[in-house]
Amino acid sequence: MNKRVRVRFAPSPTGPLHIGGIRTALYNYLFAKKHNGDFILRIEDTDQNRYVPGAEDYIIDSLRWCGLQYNEGVGIGGPHAPYRQSERKHLYKQYADALVEKGFAYYAFDTPDELENIRKQLEAQKITFQYNPATRSSMKNSITLNEAEVKRLLLADTPYVIRIKIPEHEEIIVNDIIRGEVRVHSSLMDDKVLYKSDGMPTYHLANVVDDYLMEISHVIRGEEWLPSAPLHVLLYRYFGWESSMPQFAHLPLLLKPEGNGKLSKRDGDRLGFPVFPLQWTDPKSGEISSGYRESGYFPEAFINMLSLLGWHPETEQEIFTIEELIQVFSLERASKSGAKFDPEKAKWFNHQYLITKSNAELAICLKSILIKKDIHVDDDKIEKICGLIKERANLISDLWNQSDYFFVAPDTYDEKTIKKYWKENTPSLLNELKSLLLSLDDFKKETIETAIHRYIEENGLSMGQVMNSWRLTLVGTAKGPGMADIASILGREEVLARMNKALIELK
Ligand code: GLU
């Protein structure tokens, strides 16, 4: 019988979630929905040294903004609650002890200082120390010490860790849905700590125990965890849980735009794009990192863009709703090699979504920007403006960048445009244009357009010369939609005032 599909996103709250983490959550979500399964959020916070306040809320807020709703997990509970590992602390010890009992793990009493000394001694001989089948017999542990001594140390509350006993000559096989069979020889593995002296499990122990207890069917996670997978496979065997071991799928890394190396926060700072879904303020330094939400991305566009970083559909289609993604997603079509992140393509995706929004929807976005600037304008007018400029906008913030002159008269004029279009005869031309505009019966776009075209034609003028110098007076630079559109929205009074101002300032 096929197991019910149950997948988990299991981030550690060590800082803001990178977009690679969101991509992992997304693929888990798509896979769960596709198979009518469960998507779980488990918070892996057993490493107290790396805990960052606010990071857990950040993870939850990010998933919410992206629309990746989980049906079990931190904040909402479920049949396997609690879902925060620090609250499951009491659970893990018995599993580590059980492995010791079965001879698959052992107590190690070596102090941090002793380990450090050995490490240093070996380093001098250019050897990297590993606690493994070759070295464990010369260390201080329950394999080398006699039973009475071990008992004495335990009774005396001597600090210890529990380490897994890696087999000596064996090939461990990980079957990965994306990568096929991955074989790792046990001589390359070390006796990893499963249980720490601070009474906390390590990632490996807690992760495997929880995946088992939470009946996880598929472990879908980033490639950086592939080196841990053989150890996890071994743990399933040692626990006797092989028959319920989840299937593994290790997703490719997100790479720098240049293609070499993992995409990092520094790349974002260097090239000016966010690597986090939401803005993050570092609780210690106060440093602010930008987020996709605050930079003016729609969550649907952000998700669509991420979906194609590491997975490809059968067709050339690029724009997908989340429902469509659920339909067509499969782990078999995830790639093995890293996916290069392209910040320009991210903007392109957002543009595709932006232009399909109605003017009324965009007006809501622009209005909230206007309100923050204490600019109050009729909804109708904002809608009209959105309709005119949306082709030029990639991000929500561009709605403002592309329309600011509708709300605020220019107080400076672009030098390049002046050079190009402000000629000796421009002032007299504009004065004539002013009289023409004053004489119109109304100030509708069509009326303005017809009158100006007729004027240009009758006087044998150049369209570019007239329109561009006029644009300079109303907009301040060479951007924006048709001049008749701009003028009719600004209204006669404002148009004339701006022309007069420019005539004085530019002479
Ligand atoms: N806590 C790990 C992380 O931060 C989870 C890895 C896994 O999914 O097994 O990514």
Joined together, the tokens standing for residue 313 give 């559909």
Distance (Å, whole) CA 494 – CA 504? 15
Distance (Å, whole) CA 309 – CA 306? 5
The residue whose CA has the least distance to atom 10 of ligand 1 is 11
**What is the whole-number distance in angstroms between the Cα of residue 10 and the centre of ligand 1?**
5
- Residue 413 in this model has a pLDDT that exceeds 60: yes
Joined together, the tokens standing for residue 78 give 């479920």
- Residue 1 in this model has a pLDDT that exceeds 80: no
Ligand 1 pocket mutation, candidates 12, 22, 214, criterion most atoms within 8 A of CB: 12
Tell which atom from ligand 1 comes closest to the C-alpha of 21: 10
Pocket of ligand 1 (CB under 6 A): 10-12, 44, 203, 207, 221, 225
The residue whose CA has the least distance to atom 3 of ligand 1 is 11
- Report pLDDT digits (tens) over 161-199: 999 999 999 999 999 999 999 999 999 999 999 999 999
Distance (Å, whole) CA 400 – CA 403? 5
Joined together, the tokens standing for residue 437 give 């505009």
**What is the whole-number distance in angstroms between the Cα of residue 44 and the centre of ligand 1?**
7
In this prediction, residue 259 carries a pLDDT of 85
Using the CB atoms, write b or e for 236-247: b if 16+ within 10 Å.
Answer: bebbebeeebbe
Local structure of 205: helix, strand or coil: helix
Identified catalytic residue from 265, 340, 384, 420 = 265
Model confidence at 260, pLDDT cuts 50, 70, 90, reads confident
Rounded to the nearest 10°, the torsion over CA 140, 144, 146, 150 is 30
Tell which atom from ligand 1 comes closest to the C-alpha of 10: 5
Give the H/E segment covering residue 281. strand 280-281
Q: Per-residue pLDDT averaged across 359-363, rounded?
A: 98
Distances (CA, A) of 195 to 106, 116, 153: 10, 19, 17
Q: Per-residue pLDDT averaged across 273-296, rounded?
A: 96
The residue whose CA has the least distance to atom 2 of ligand 1 is 11
Rounded to the nearest 10°, the torsion over CA 448, 450, 452, 454 is -160
**What is the whole-number distance in angstroms between the Cα of residue 423 and the centre of ligand 1?**
65
141 phi/psi in degrees, rounded to 5: -150, 180
pTM above 0.75, yes or no: yes
Ligand 1 pocket mutation, candidates 31, 220, 225, criterion most atoms within 8 A of CB: 225
Ligand 1 pocket mutation, candidates 203, 217, 235, 245, criterion most atoms within 8 A of CB: 203
If you ran DSSP here, which 8-state letter would residue 201 be given?
B
Q: Which residue type sits at 403? A: S
Q: Per-residue pLDDT averaged across 299-321, rounded?
A: 98
273 phi/psi in degrees, rounded to 5: -140, 155
Within 10 Å of residue 351's Cβ, how many Cβ atoms? 18
In this prediction, residue 269 carries a pLDDT of 87
Tell which atom from ligand 1 comes closest to the C-alpha of 44: 1
Model confidence at 507, pLDDT cuts 50, 70, 90, reads confident
**What is the whole-number distance in angstroms between the Cα of residue 203 and the centre of ligand 1?**
8
Q: Per-residue pLDDT averaged across 188-212, rounded?
A: 97
Distance of CA 5 to the CA centre of its chain: 25
**What is the whole-number distance in angstroms between the Cα of residue 267 and the centre of ligand 1?**
23
Tell which atom from ligand 1 comes closest to the C-alpha of 228: 9
- Report pLDDT digits (tens) over 28-61: 999 999 999 999 999 999 998 999 999 999 999 9
**Helix, strand, coil abundance in the chain, percent, nearest 5:** 50, 10, 35
- Residue 5 in this model has a pLDDT that exceeds 70: yes
Tell which atom from ligand 1 comes closest to the C-alpha of 14: 4
Q: Per-residue pLDDT averaged across 303-332, rounded?
A: 98
In this prediction, residue 116 carries a pLDDT of 97
In this prediction, residue 354 carries a pLDDT of 98
The residue whose CA has the least distance to atom 5 of ligand 1 is 10
Ligand 1 pocket mutation, candidates 44, 176, 247, criterion most atoms within 8 A of CB: 44
**What is the whole-number distance in angstroms between the Cα of residue 118 and the centre of ligand 1?**
30
**What is the whole-number distance in angstroms between the Cα of residue 224 and the centre of ligand 1?**
9
- Percentage of residues of the chain with pLDDT beyond 70: 100
- Residue 442 in this model has a pLDDT that exceeds 90: yes
Q: Which residues contact 321 (CB under 8 A, 6 or more apart)?
A: 300
In this prediction, residue 48 carries a pLDDT of 86
Q: Annotated catalytic, 507?
A: no
